[in-house]
Structure 1
């Protein structure tokens, strides 16, 4: 009940239930599986409250207890949640350490789906650290596992990660193509976000008509909390600004990009917001869906400055 309240109910109720659990287990032996469950519930209560650093200890304890019980399928999600928590704090080296500790628990134990998630998480963090070559190698391993399972959602996740790598290298045509594949599959990523990322890539590739068509398609997609709805307008304004810049309309480009800047300024300092919503909607820790408002703000500001520089 505490875990359920933490992820889909009320944080205060979760804390009250954990106090009751402590009273029930005080001075009594606690088995490894129960210790795992208690630690997971406590960690998710902290994640719900945005206390990401505080969640490390119970998540590490949960993974250790699950390993003692011979349950790598339970240990791995705790390590991946710890990685996501670290990423929310911008501690990407620590996030990678948690992921690297989780990789041997997945595919080597026959947990191929979790293996795909492990490599997907590696791709996300390695790209964030600028280690794109290593990210590409991890994505290749991810693709092998996804193809063995022949599940469209996992193959779609591979395309999502390939698009992330293409974006990191500035290969906008490839990024747009990989995003198109994601949209056509039941991948555990938001479709509205996938279309916006594709529109951005198309605009940067100079395909303005296709970018506009993708923006229109965004408005037809259902939106869930995992799409971070309060960021969609800022993303759309940014793409509209890029399209205007490509069409040599600096006044409109500046206006749209300025709107995007204001939108991200309202979210500045709130990395990790919506963590639990993404966890529920995507069915996995939201490492690859993490929104970094400060980084997005810096990117849009750079686009705006480049337009001002071109005009001068």
Structure 2
């Protein structure tokens, strides 16, 4: 079994790996304990941070290895949208962010879409914002994917940025980081830049894998649940996200609006078995909250607190 149906794992050699780092890539704490092995010869383990509750690979792939890995992925995969009926995710995001964005009136809206592939989800979200009164929606897309989805509405403008350094500070109404942070070996600065892009009152959305509890259960059943390393190098669940403002210096004051098991990626008509299993596994979390981990993924909506100065 694979943790993600659209990635494949790879065994990395010694010269493809960076040296071991005892510090957590998110909070720099060295209070980490091994969870499970990802590969042997050379050894790479999953390490759980007792400070921020992030779980990360003990050794990260070298940058050129990841460039090759994702370069091959985009060449081999004709379709990059991995979410059944992507309008579902767009509707989900806008429904839970609209209250934070306030009454749009007839004003211009800025979306920063980090790791959004060809921009399909952010363009669909933009269409819904137009329906809610936005005058125009500008999307800044930051992604290695060389293609951009077709836009047939002049009120929606999609531009590309090479990296987050090109994103203006305190300008974005909505920052999307859906299914991307788990791919970035050292995401501490990336997270700070994403939150710096938010205007006061703006909303940040992230969706990440949370599969370590499922891996432990699979091991008991003598099954192998593939973490899809080096595609995935982090596992980020409820406790990480619920404490993100306390354990990480994000640079801006935040409040968590919604923290919950992630929306199910698949639909019954396209992937009946996977969809049924996902809903069954996630159901107990409504009662047990973060004490229950067999959910496969986690999502969070975080608002930059309005009217507060940047922390230094």
* TM-score, with length taken from structure 2: 0.24
Greater share of strand: 2
Structure number with greater CO (CA < 8 Å, separation at least 6) is 2
The structure with the larger Rg is 1
